[in-house]
A and B are shown apart, each in its own frame.
Chain A
Amino acid sequence: MLEVQGIVAGYGRIPVLHEVSLTAEAGQMVTLVGANGAGKSTLLKVIAGVLPPWSGRVLLEGEDVTAVPAHRRVGRGIVLVPEGRMLFGAMSVDENLSLGAYLRTGAEAKRRVQADRERVFELFPILAKRRSQPAGTLSGGEQQMLAVGRALMSDPTVLLLDEPSLGLAPKVISEIFAVLDRLREDGLTMVLVEQDARLALKHAEHGYVMRTGTVVLDGASSDLLANDDVRLIYLGAWHGGE
Chain B
Amino acid sequence: MSAPGKRNILAAVAIAICAVAIVALPFVVADRYILRILTVVGINVIMVAGLSLLFGYAGQISLGQAAFYGLGAYTSGYLAKAGVPWLVALVGGVGVAALGGLLIALPSLRLKGHYLAMATLGFGEIMLFFFTETESITGGSNGLRGIPPASIGPLEFATPVAKYFLVWAVVAIVLLLAANVVRHRPGRALRAIHGSEMGAQACGIDTVRVKIQVFVISAGLGGLAGVLYGHYVGFVSPSTFTLHYSLILVTMVALGGMGSLGGAVAGTVLLTLLPFIDAIIPGLPRTTVAVLQDWTNDIYGLVLILVMLFMPRGLAGWARSLVARLAERGSARVPGGERA
- Say which residue of B2, B188, B206, B207 sits within 8 Å of A99 (CB atoms): B188
Q: Which residues of B contact A90 (CB under 8 A)?
A: 191, 194-195, 259
Q: Which residues of A contact B204 (CB under 8 A)?
A: 71-72, 74-75, 102-103, 154
- Interface majority SS (helix, strand, loop, mixed), chain B: helix
A132 CB-CB contact with B under 8 Å = yes
Q: A88–B205 contact, CB under 8 A? A: no
B118 CB-CB contact with A under 8 Å = no
With both beta carbons as reference points, the residue of chain A lying nearest to B195 in the complex is identified as A88
A95 CB-CB contact with B under 8 Å = yes
> A83: shortest Cβ distance to chain B, in Å?
9
A187 CB-CB contact with B under 8 Å = no
With both beta carbons as reference points, the residue of chain B lying nearest to A105 in the complex is identified as B185
Q: Which residues of A contact B259 (CB under 8 A)?
A: 90
Task: Enumerate A89-124 residues with CB–CB distance to B below 8 Å.
Answer: 89-91, 95, 98-100, 102-103, 105
Q: Size of chain A's interface in residues, with CB distance under 8 A?
A: 30
Interface string of A60-98 (1 = CB under 8 A from B): 000000000111101100011110011111110001001
Q: B191–A48 contact, CB under 8 A? A: no
Q: B199–A87 contact, CB under 8 A? A: yes
A203 CB-CB contact with B under 8 Å = no
Contact-residue bracket for chain B: 20 to 34
B196 CB-CB contact with A under 8 Å = yes
Q: Given A48-B202, A102-B205, A132-B4, A89 and B188 touching (CB < 8 A)?
A: no
C-alpha gap A102/B190 in the complex (Å): 12
A50 CB-CB contact with B under 8 Å = yes
A230 CB-CB contact with B under 8 Å = no
C-alpha gap A182/B204 in the complex (Å): 25
B189 CB-CB contact with A under 8 Å = yes
Q: Which residues of A contact B196 (CB under 8 A)?
A: 86-89
B201 CB-CB contact with A under 8 Å = yes
Q: Which of B191, B192, B199 has the most CB of A within 10 A?
A: B199
A57 CB-CB contact with B under 8 Å = no
A150 CB-CB contact with B under 8 Å = yes
C-alpha gap A120/B206 in the complex (Å): 25
> A62: shortest Cβ distance to chain B, in Å?
22
Q: Which residues of B contact A81 (CB under 8 A)?
A: 202
Q: Which residues of B contact A80 (CB under 8 A)?
A: 202
A-B contacts, 20 listed (Cβ < 8 Å): A70-B202, A71-B206, A71-B207, A72-B204, A74-B202, A75-B204, A79-B202, A81-B202, A86-B199, A87-B195, A87-B199, A88-B199, A89-B195, A90-B194, A95-B188, A99-B188, A99-B192, A100-B203, A150-B203, A154-B204
9 A-B pairs with least C-beta separation = A88-B195, A74-B204, A86-B199, A103-B204, A86-B196, A86-B198, A71-B206, A99-B203, A102-B203
